[in-house]
Amino acid sequence: MRGKATVIAPANIAFIKYWGTQDWDRTLPFNPSLSMTLRECFTRTSVEILDRAGSDEVFFKAHGRSMEPASEAFSQRVLPHLARLRKWAGEEVSFRVATENSFPMGAGMASSASGFAALTLAVVAALGRQVTGEEASVLARLSGSGSAARSVLGGYVKWPAGEGPEEEHAVQVASAGHWDLRDVVAVLQEQAKEVSSREGHERAPTSPYFEPRQRLLHDRLERVRKAILARDFSALAPTVEEEAIDLHLIAMSSSPPIFYWRPGTLEVLAAVRRLRQEGVEVCATMDAGANVHMICTPDSEAAVAEVVGRIPDVSSLIHDGVGQGPMTVDEHLL
Indicate whether 224 belongs to the interface with ligand DP6 (CB under 6 A): no
Cis peptide before 256, with omega less than 30 degrees from 0?
yes
* Residue nearer to ligand DP6 on the CB measure, 22 or 94: 22
When asked if residue 112 is in the footprint of ligand DP6 (CB under 6 A), the reply is: yes
Q: Does 113 bind ligand DP6 (CB under 6 A)?
A: yes
How far lies 47's CA from each of 111, 137, 140, 150, 153, in Å? Answer: 18, 18, 15, 21, 20
User: How far is the C-alpha of 163 from the C-alpha of 161, rounded, in Å?
Assistant: 7
* Residue in 285, 270, 33 with CA at minimum distance from that of residue 182: 285
CB nearer to ligand DP6: pick between 49 and 110? 110
Q: Closer CB to ligand DP6, residue 207 or residue 300?
A: 207
Number of residues assigned to the chain: 334
**Number of Cβ within a 10 Å radius of residue 280:** 19
User: Out of 11, 14, 70, 125, which residue is the one contacting ligand DP6 (CB under 6 A)?
Assistant: 14
Q: Phi, psi at residue 156, to the nearest 5°?
A: -105, 125
We find the least distance from the C-beta atom of residue 14 to ligand DP6, in angstroms, to be: 3
Query: Any bridge partners for residue 93, and if so which?
Result: none
Which amino acid is it at 226?
Answer: K
What backbone torsions phi and psi does residue 294 show, to the nearest 5 degrees?
A: -100, 105
Distance CA 7, CA 311 (A): 36
- Choosing from 7, 17, 109, 260, the residue that interacts with ligand DP6 (CB under 6 A) is 17
Say whether residue 265 binds ligand DP6 (CB under 6 A).
Answer: no
Q: Is 264 in the site for ligand DP6 (CB under 6 A)?
A: no
Instruction: Give whichever of 228 and 280 is closer to ligand DP6, judged by the CB atom.
Output: 228
Compare residues 113 and 284 and give the one whose CB is closer to ligand DP6: 113
Q: Which residues pair with 302 in a beta bridge?
A: none
Q: Which is nearer to ligand DP6, 2 or 26 (CB)?
A: 26
Query: Hey, what amino acid is at 66?
Result: S
Binding mask 119-148 for ligand DP6 (x = CB under 6 A): --------------------------xxx-
20 touches ligand DP6 by CB under 6 A: no
Nearer to ligand DP6, 109 or 271 (CB): 109
Our finding on whether 151 is near ligand DP6 (CB under 6 A) is: no
Shortest distance (Å) from residue 54 CB to ligand DP6? 28
Q: Does 288 bind ligand DP6 (CB under 6 A)?
A: yes
Q: Which stretch binds ligand DP6 (CB under 6 A): 11-19, 62-70, 77-85, 117-125?
A: 11-19
Phi, psi (5° rounding) for residue 98?
A: -130, 140
Encode burial over 179-206: b for 16+ CB neighbours within 10 A, e otherwise.
Answer: bebbbbbbbbbeeebebebebbbebbbe
Per-residue DSSP letters for 70-98? PPHHHHHHHHHHHHHHHHHHT---EEEEE
Q: Following DSSP, what letter does each residue of 92-134 receive, concatenated?
A: --EEEEEEEESS-GGG----HHHHHHHHHHHHHHHTT----HH
Told to check if 197 binds ligand DP6 by CB under 6 A, we report yes
Judged by CB under 6 A, the residue of 8, 107, 110, 284 near ligand DP6 is 110
Shortest spacing between CB 113 and ligand DP6, in angstroms: 6
Q: Residue 283's beta-bridge partner residues?
A: 295
Span from 82-90, 97-105, 108-116, 221-229 in contact with ligand DP6 (CB under 6 A): 108-116
Chain positions contacting ligand DP6, by CB under 6 A: 14, 17-19, 33, 110, 112-113, 145-147, 197-198, 287-288
